[in-house]
Structures are given as C-alpha cells and as structure tokens.
Amino acid sequence: MEGKIGFRIKKDFQRSDKQVLDRFKKIGTCAVSDGLNKFNTMHHSIKPIIDDAVICGNALTVKMRPGDNLMLHKAIGLAQPGDVIVVDTCGSETNSVMGELMAMSAFKSGVEAIIVDGAIRDIRELKEHHYPVFARCVTPAVGDKDGPGIINGLICCGNVAVQPGDIILGDANGVVVIHQDEAEEVLTAAEKKLAGDQNRMKEILNGVITKPDIDKTLKEKGVI
C-alpha cells in the first residue's frame, strides 16, 4: 500500500467469479440477509436513488476526511468494470462528496454501483441518468479536494465493516455485505431460504393462510 498513515492507496484486490456475483444478484438482499443470519446488513438510511436498482460486485473501498472527496476522485480512476465503490465519509452529512460529473466518470468506466455513507448532490440528474447510486442523504453543499484518505483499506459503511473485495449486494430493500471466503456458505443458506419462500407462496395460493408451525409455537407457549 502506497503513501503514509491516513493517506494511503492500495491499487488492487481479489475479485469474485462473475457466476458467483450473478447468483447473489438473482437471489436478492432479503434472502441473502437471512443467509447471513441478519448480520452485515447496512443501516436503512443507505438507500438507492432509483427504485429498480439491483447491483452486485466487489468492493473498492474509500475512506475520506469528512467533507472531502479527493480520494474518491482517485478511486474512480482505479476502478475496474464491475467494481462497487463503497465510500466512508466518517459520518459526514454536511457536504456532498459526489455529483453528476463524478458519477458520469465512474459509470462511463463500467463501475457497477456507488455506495456513499454520506451525502451526494445533483440528485435529479443522477436519477435521469438512471445511475445505481446508494447514499445516506442529499445536500447541494460541495466539499474539498485536499485529503487525507485511504483507498482499499478497512472502512465502515452503514454501520457495517467493509473490506476491499467484499461482495456488495444492493437493491430496493438495502445493501448487504458478504465476505468472499463465506460466499458459498451464504449462497447455500440464501438459496434454501428462497426455495422455502417459494413453497410457502404455493401454500398460500392453495388456501393455507396460516403456517402450521405458528399454531404449534402458540400451543407450546400455552396461548392456545
């Protein structure tokens, strides 16, 4: 990693096989969150600006001083097609760290999505471009370009620790984070949950409105 304390750049990280990412994208965040036993789900304030956003890719992480976006500019230049840029602003909501021009640069280079635990601006233009951007809030106030910051180090986004290369899955329900070494285990659990949900839907359509195990639990608790 190049640089000095608090001002470092790591240029690359391990990326996942596209087939793994596609499997996560087909499942969606709800079943994957269940597969993670409810861990690693970002705070609900991190929302997509477009309702039909469905994204999955490996995290290129950026940590920045509050109100500064120097390292996000550099990260966009380092990003490879399919990467998800995940930004930690140290909780800043007073200054936007990205608008239309920076987003255009990122998505022109093939970035999968941008997730900002902080503020963005040019919201109308971002929506018109249909960019898959997730953010905590919106403000017209711009920030600085001085640094310091860290690219591809450990960050916190939406109250979840994110390492470079983590799998980031996002949709209208929110964002979940999957460590690469747990990907297959999470996929297996999530696909099992999804299959169970699909079976339950068939039961409902056939008239089984209340699951039998609900009454079983209530009997065990002495309610009925």
The domain ranges of the chain are 2-190
Q: Model confidence over 105-121: pLDDT tens digits? A: 999 999 999 999 999 99
**Residue percentage of the chain with pLDDT more than 70:** 100
As a whole number, mean pLDDT of residues 17-39 equals 96
Q: What's the pLDDT at 212? A: 82
Q: Model confidence over 150-160: pLDDT tens digits? A: 999 999 999 99
As a whole number, mean pLDDT of residues 172-193 equals 97
Lowest-confidence pick of 37-51, 84-98, 173-187, 207-221: 207-221
The whole-chain average pLDDT of the chain stands at 96
Q: What's the pLDDT at 107? A: 98
Q: What's the pLDDT at 139? A: 98
Q: What's the pLDDT at 1? A: 83
As a whole number, mean pLDDT of residues 11-17 equals 96
What distance in Å separates the CA atoms of residue 34 and residue 36, rounded to the nearest whole number? 5
pTM: 0.94
Q: Is the per-residue pLDDT at 74 higher than 90?
A: yes
Q: Is the per-residue pLDDT at 75 higher than 90?
A: yes
DSSP one-letter string for the chain: -EEETTEEE--------HHHHHHHHHH-HHHHHHHTTT-SBPPTT-EESSTT--EEEEEEEEEE-TTB-HHHHHHHHH--TT-EEEEE-TT--SSB---HHHHHHHHHTT--EEEEEEEE--HHHHHHHT--EEEEEE-S-B-BS---EEESS-EEETTEEE-TT-EEEEETTEEEEE-GGGHHHHHHHHHHHHHHHHHHHHHHHTT--S-HHHHHHHHHTT--
As a whole number, mean pLDDT of residues 91-96 equals 96
Omega prior to 212 cis, within 30 of 0: no
Q: What's the pLDDT at 153? A: 98
Q: Please give the CATH topology (third level) of the domain spanning 2-190.
A: Glucose Oxidase; domain 1 (3.50.30)
Q: Is the per-residue pLDDT at 210 higher than 90?
A: no
Convert 186-220 to b/e letters by CB count within 10 Å (16 or more is b): bbebbbebbeeeeeeeeeeeeeeeeeeeeeeeeee
Residue 223 in tokens: 């309610």
Q: Is the per-residue pLDDT at 215 higher than 90?
A: no
Neighbours of 223 (CB within 10 A): 8
Q: Pairing between strand 84-88 and 2-4?
A: unpaired
